[in-house]
């Protein structure tokens, strides 16, 4: 065989190696985490509404978090990849609506989004660039109307207590998938519905059954605070 043909063969083999063995995707699936703003705010720490004003009475995105099936969590995967608001200008109003910052002091959300991109988003950057990452989370949020699903099951943010099993059952009926529930405590130590975890495939498009169900603390019965 001619030298040039050998050279091309070796190059092709190296390319195969790069695509099948050497470059790993860096995660297996995502946790898509939504929080109830009333529970974030009803704590000793409290909250601050974002600069545009009080967010809508709805669940708000906490994050889209890459995760491995062996239950390890990648984080801060590329310290050179910084959040760049100019890349998501077209998503800005959707972000403010669906991914509201509640941290103090009051701000427009940039700090929260930049934390989420740098800690989590950079770990799925081989699949979703910054625009696709934020857009994927917003699209899932639009597909899964958690508040509507719960309200249809008679579970409302009215300060009453609801069984966690009923909440999970309603989400399973409304989405077709099992969710994990995380609670936090209000200043009087009442357990309240804080976050809902659903799983999303590595493309960031479709809900999947969670390969690992996150174990988060909760009481059998939790308050759903008014917001």
Strands (E), 125-179: 161-163
Number of H-type helices and E-type strands within the chain? 7, 7
Query: Of residues 67, 116, 135, 182, which has the active-site annotation?
Result: 116
Q: How many CB atoms lie within 10 A of CB 169?
A: 15
Least distance to ligand AMP, CB of residue 44, Å: 14
- Return the bridge partners of 191, or none: 185
Dihedral angle, C-alpha 56, 57, 59, 63, nearest 10 °: 30
Interface residues with ligand AMP (CB under 6 A)?
35, 40, 62-63, 101-103, 112, 115-116, 119
Query: Of residues 67, 120, 135, 182, which has the active-site annotation?
Result: 120
Specify whether 116 is catalytic.
yes
Specify whether 62 is catalytic.
yes
Residue that the structure tokens 């009926």 belong to? 173
Least distance to ligand AMP, CB of residue 35, Å: 6
Least distance to ligand AMP, CB of residue 55, Å: 9
Nearest CA to 181 out of 189, 143, 169 is that of 169
Q: Which is nearer to ligand AMP, 35 or 196 (CB)?
A: 35
Q: Which is nearer to ligand AMP, 65 or 162 (CB)?
A: 65
CB 71 within 8 A of CB 212: yes
Q: Which is nearer to ligand AMP, 66 or 170 (CB)?
A: 66
Alpha-carbon distance values, 21 to 13, 16, 29, 123, 148 (Å): 11, 8, 19, 18, 44
Q: Which is nearer to ligand AMP, 87 or 115 (CB)?
A: 115
Least distance to ligand AMP, CB of residue 37, Å: 7
Kindly give, in sequence order, each residue whose CB lies less than 8 Å from that of residue 13, ignoring residues fewer than 6 positions away. none
Burial 38-54 (b: 16+ CB within 10 A, else e): bbbbbeeeebeebeeee
Helix (H) or strand (E) holding 29: strand 29-35
Query: Of residues 62, 67, 118, 135, which has the active-site annotation?
Result: 62
Q: Which is nearer to ligand AMP, 60 or 223 (CB)?
A: 60
CA distance 171 to 29: 20
Specify whether 120 is catalytic.
yes
Least distance to ligand AMP, CB of residue 62, Å: 5
Return the active site residues. Answer: 62, 116, 120
């Amino acid at each position: 065989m001619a030298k040039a043909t050998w050279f091309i063969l070796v190059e092709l083999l190296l390319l195969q190696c790069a695509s099948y063995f050497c470059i790993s995707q860096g995660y297996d699936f995502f946790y898509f985490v939504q929080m109830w703003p009333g529970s974030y705010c009803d704590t000793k720490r409290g909250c601050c509404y974002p600069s545009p004003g009080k967010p809508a009475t709805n669940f708000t995105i906490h994050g889209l978090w890459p995760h491995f099936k062996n239950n390890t969590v990648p984080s801060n995967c590329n310290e050179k990849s910084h959040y760049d608001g100019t890349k998501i200008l077209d998503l800005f109003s959707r972000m403010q609506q669906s991914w509201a910052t509640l941290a103090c002091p009051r701000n427009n959300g940039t700090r929260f989004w930049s934390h989420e991109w740098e800690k989590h988003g950079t770990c799925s950057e081989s699949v979703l660039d910054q625009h696709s990452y934020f857009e994927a989370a917003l699209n899932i949020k639009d597909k899964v109307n958690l508040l509507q699903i719960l309200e249809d099951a008679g579970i409302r943010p009215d300060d009453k207590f609801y069984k966690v099993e009923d909440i999970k059952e309603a989400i399973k009926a409304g989405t077709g998938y099992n969710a994990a529930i995380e609670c936090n405590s209000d200043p009087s130590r009442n357990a309240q519905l804080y976050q809902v975890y659903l799983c999303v495939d590595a493309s960031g498009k479709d809900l999947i059954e969670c390969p690992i169900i996150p174990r988060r603390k909760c009481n059998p019965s939790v308050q759903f605070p008014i917001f």
